[in-house]
Chains A and B, each alone.
Chain A
């Protein structure tokens, strides 16, 4: 069953149109990421879902009910803001209780719910703390608890992890996903961080300039992007210009001094295309092998687990990632032989 349906949403701010005919559906219990560079309109979609912004056209349907014209306070949606947006004058428990008090729940029920929520986000015993005295990670947990106690129909997360430092962010990614799966709440997660989206989501909606580029599960989005933008935004891809050619039913792309085999996906011989290959999808050897290209290394950068080799095939520069230990044998000026994996080599017209 679909929990959330977004239909034909258009939105402009003045003469600047930020969303173009947005359509998507979210299944109950799914964790969906809206991913895209800043200014792509992802936050605007979120604000249209929660009602803080109204769309010019189209509708928002939650659990079969059209809420397009329902005011914010009547929508029953939980939201965690980028800067947490806690009430600074209230204690932790008062923050969490706020939505329940408005719903006129009994004192006993409120107490039980606060306890449940604090346990859920692992902040037991912090009831009376001032929120201004909490660390960023703790504030984030309070914000999450506050959004969840009202038993919202869907949970919206607006870049909730971007203000945390790297280590806490990784912890929170894991925990957020855990909590989400435990209570099975449909969640929309806005982020510009592709790694975050890839690790946490059931489905990723990739956006660019107000349109949806691709909608897919993380694995397929990463490995089989449908456009140059998608292949470049999710992890760095090498994008080379070339000409599509055919020889005895085998298709390949020819560029300046190189030739890469591809699986045929439309187009005719002689078409100008862009070919996209991820840096880690190259086989790298010391000696020439079948289908290999000569790769002259111009630079080498150590980044931890992997090493980046910069260099030239023919006249074009590419970047290849290999495991650091394997990279030990290569130095600037060396020649290696490389071949991209045919399965994940994609071309776009």
Chain B
């Protein structure tokens, strides 16, 4: 058949695409177990770098700071995002559509611009570089994810159970607790997890807004890269990778595969 050749070509193309994405990740995991610090062969197994990471490296402290920051940001964004999405249900459709497109702007506007603008404002108000400023900066860029995830739940879920609950005698607070909140929960959790990941990665925001002398993980890595680094970073990268994969699996389990996320946007 004529198509077989073309099919084979497509398959190879697909394989190459995936290879380009995943080979570097695979290499970094392998290198985290390699004895030589220069990323060279032959491969000799060691756990030395993992040990260094937990005992003698700056990376560990920076990681904890990043986790704390992202955790706080994710929780706040879940709360504010949910409330925003709920509120948008009770204003006229035109208004809510406008509000929602404005709410998505922080994703589109380059973070660099936003970070500089925020720094400018914080300096003007006398706050300057601070933990609280960094927290707000991160929050701003992740909020849209939470809002969108919760709105998506509203749009795709069957809304009649709310009417049913009211007809059975439930007042609005009860309807919210028993029907609306359980319905939104998968969206809220997904939004939270995405917020966490995005915030964990938000180098520009952190670089511009962090207090002097304080370094989150992305900043720490950035600094290390410039002066040369040890493979303890590979070890850390591997750990982050494993946790991220676990996240993705969790999201999938909640019914939010990549294709669904694309659709709901």
Residues of A within 8 A of B (CB): 50, 52, 72-79, 81, 83, 85-89, 98-99, 102-103, 143, 146-147, 150
Interface stretch of the complex, out of B20-28, B33-41, B160-168, B223-231? B160-168
Interface contact B166-A72, CB-CB below 8 Å: yes
A338 smallest CB distance to B (angstroms): 49
Interface contact A73-B164, CB-CB below 8 Å: no
Q: How far is the CA of A107 from the CA of B246 in the complex (A)?
A: 42
Q: Which of B167, B179, B182 contacts A77 (CB 8 A)?
A: B167
Q: Return chain B residues, CB-CB under 8 Å to A147.
A: 167
Q: Return chain A residues, CB-CB under 8 Å to B160.
A: 81, 83, 85
Report 26 cross-chain contacts, Cβ distance below 8 Å, ordered by A residue: A50-B167, A52-B163, A72-B167, A73-B171, A74-B169, A83-B158, A85-B160, A85-B161, A85-B163, A86-B161, A86-B164, A87-B161, A87-B164, A87-B165, A87-B179, A88-B158, A89-B183, A98-B165, A98-B168, A98-B170, A98-B178, A99-B168, A103-B169, A143-B164, A146-B164, A147-B167
Q: Return chain B residues, CB-CB under 8 Å to A50.
A: 167
Interface contact A102-B158, CB-CB below 8 Å: no
Size band of the interface chain B makes with A:
10 to 19
Q: How far is the CA of A177 from the CA of B45 in the complex (A)?
A: 76
Interface contact B167-A79, CB-CB below 8 Å: yes
Q: How far is the CA of A79 from the CA of B165 in the complex (A)?
A: 10
Q: Which of A52, A83, A88, A102 contacts B168 (CB 8 A)?
A: A102
A102/B164 contact (C-beta < 8 A), A83-B158, A87-B178, A89-B182 known: no
Q: How far is the CA of A98 from the CA of B183 in the complex (A)?
A: 16
Which 4 pairs from chain A and chain B are nearest by CB?
A99-B168, A85-B160, A85-B164, A89-B182
Q: How far is the CA of A99 from the CA of B165 in the complex (A)?
A: 8
Q: Return chain A residues, CB-CB under 8 Å to B161.
A: 85-88
Residues of B within 8 A of A (CB): 158, 160-161, 163-171, 174, 178-179, 182-183
Interface contact B169-A76, CB-CB below 8 Å: yes
Q: How far is the CA of A81 from the CA of B168 in the complex (A)?
A: 13
Count: A-B pairs, CB below 8 Å: 62
Interface contact A85-B158, CB-CB below 8 Å: yes
Q: How far is the CA of A103 from the CA of B161 in the complex (A)?
A: 18
Q: Which of B168, B174, B182, B183 contacts A150 (CB 8 A)?
A: B168
A150/B164 contact (C-beta < 8 A), A85-B158, A98-B178 known: no
Interface contact B158-A150, CB-CB below 8 Å: no
Interface contact A73-B167, CB-CB below 8 Å: yes
Q: How far is the CA of A244 from the CA of B168 in the complex (A)?
A: 56
Q: How far is the CA of A75 from the CA of B171 in the complex (A)?
A: 12
Interface contact B167-A102, CB-CB below 8 Å: no
Q: Return chain B residues, CB-CB under 8 Å to A85.
A: 158, 160-161, 163-164
A297 smallest CB distance to B (angstroms): 49
Interface contact A150-B169, CB-CB below 8 Å: yes
A73/B158 contact (C-beta < 8 A), A81-B163, A81-B164, A89-B182 known: no
Interface contact A73-B179, CB-CB below 8 Å: no
Q: How far is the CA of A291 from the CA of B60 in the complex (A)?
A: 103
Q: How far is the CA of A76 from the CA of B168 in the complex (A)?
A: 7
Q: Return chain B residues, CB-CB under 8 Å to A103.
A: 169
Q: How far is the CA of A83 from the CA of B161 in the complex (A)?
A: 9
Q: Return chain A residues, CB-CB under 8 Å to B171.
A: 73
